[in-house]
């Protein structure tokens, strides 16, 4: 407090001049319309620039919250896609105890879970991702994983709070896909060379394929809903010794900057797998 009084005493004349200057300017701007307009324009400009800088800084610090909000909104919208619902192949009505049951009603087949990527690799022959969602949140092995752009891979190991995902950029990873235009099915796999491209095999040469065509997931996949983008045709490799194309595909997902993903929970997966395994044993 003593230093404050010493400062005022030392600069009494300057402070008195400053107070008088403020009073003079206040009178000038209040009673002179021209100067008042100039002052208002200048103050509006300065205030606007300050608010712009403040909003820019606030927006930067709110990015994480914004991304999480958008992720949850995308999850909700993806859950509403018709590909996530499937009806039994029947239009008959069953009558039991005089109560009509419509067996053609749609049921949820796929449930969408959002997750944050906490680790990923692209430089190995066996690339993986680690996501921050595990058994406590309903994740289990063999669940498909997609990004907002396209497919990512499949869950292979799960702990209480985390899960590891075998990436599309893994030498052992394979997924059944199809041409979006013609519907011909083939298998996508990675040759371990460039992380920018994967390979699509088993597409017959009778199919109409062009550079830029979209490759999507097939309805025969048990891990992904049909129609999820896998990538686009980058190059058609001619092989005169075979009746099938070898297509170079650019993945839709950018594995170098992936931050958030969606885990696909096929709620009919266990039933389908149990039936198929039982059928194989019966045939054998």
Q: Would you say residue 88 has pLDDT above 50?
A: no
The answer to whether the beta carbons of residues 183 and 236 sit under 8 Å apart is: no
Q: What is the pLDDT of residues 35-64, one digit of tens each?
A: 566 655 565 556 556 655 655 665 555 566
Q: Would you say residue 219 has pLDDT above 70?
A: yes
Placement of tokens 């058994």 in the chain: 135
DSSP E strands: which ranges in 149-267? 151-158, 163-170, 174-179, 185-189, 198-204, 214-217, 229-237, 244-251, 260-266
Mean pLDDT of 75-86: 59
DSSP-assigned states of every residue in 255-281:
TTS--EEEEEEETTHHHHHHHHHHHHH
Report how far apart, in Å, the C-alpha atoms of 283 and of each of 93, 222, 269, 275, 278 are: 33, 22, 21, 12, 9
Q: Give all domains of the chain, ordered by start, each with its CATH number.
A: 2-61 (no CATH), 115-283 (2.40.10.350)
Residue 39 CB coordination number (10 Å): 16
pLDDT of residue 266: 86
Q: What is the pLDDT of residues 235-267, one digit of tens each?
A: 998 778 888 889 999 999 999 988 889 999 888
Find, among 124, 129, 218, the residue nearest to 171 by Cα.
124
The answer to whether the beta carbons of residues 254 and 273 sit under 8 Å apart is: no
Mean pLDDT of 195-210: 92
Paired tokens of 200:
């699509």
**Whole-structure pTM value:** 0.65
Position 186 confidence tier, pLDDT thresholds 50, 70, 90: very high
Between 150 and 61, name the one with better pLDDT: 150
């Amino acid at each position: 407090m003593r230093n404050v009084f010493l400062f005022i005493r030392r600069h009494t004349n300057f402070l008195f001049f400053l107070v008088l200057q403020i009073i003079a300017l206040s009178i000038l701007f209040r009673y002179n319309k021209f100067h008042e307009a100039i002052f208002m324009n200048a103050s509006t400009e300065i205030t606007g620039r300050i608010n712009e800088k403040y909003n820019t800084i606030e927006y930067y610090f709110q990015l994480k919250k914004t991304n999480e909000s958008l992720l949850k909104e995308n999850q909700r919208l993806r859950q509403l896609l018709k590909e996530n619902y499937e009806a039994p192949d029947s239009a008959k009505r069953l009558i039991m105890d005089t109560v009509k049951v419509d067996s053609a009603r749609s049921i949820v087949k796929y449930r969408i879970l959002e997750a944050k990527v906490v680790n990923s690799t692209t430089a190995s022959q066996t690339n993986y991702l680690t996501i921050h969602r595990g058994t406590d949140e309903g994740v289990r092995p063999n669940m498909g994983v997609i990004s907002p752009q396209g497919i990512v891979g499949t869950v292979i190991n799960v702990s209480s709070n985390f899960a590891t995902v075998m990436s599309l950029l893994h030498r052992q990873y394979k997924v059944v896909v199809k041409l979006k235009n013609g519907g011909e099915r083939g298998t996508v796999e990675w040759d371990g060379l460039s992380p920018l491209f994967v390979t699509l095999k088993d597409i017959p040469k009778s199919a109409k394929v062009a550079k830029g065509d979209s490759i999507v997931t097939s309805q025969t996949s048990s891990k992904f809903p049909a129609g999820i983008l896998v990538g686009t045709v980058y190059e058609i490799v001619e092989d005169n010794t075979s009746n099938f194309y070898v297509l170079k595909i650019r993945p839709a997902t950018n594995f170098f900057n992936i931050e958030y993903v969606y885990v696909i929970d096929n709620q009919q997966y266990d039933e389908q797998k149990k039936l198929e395994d039982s059928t194989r044993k019966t045939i054998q």
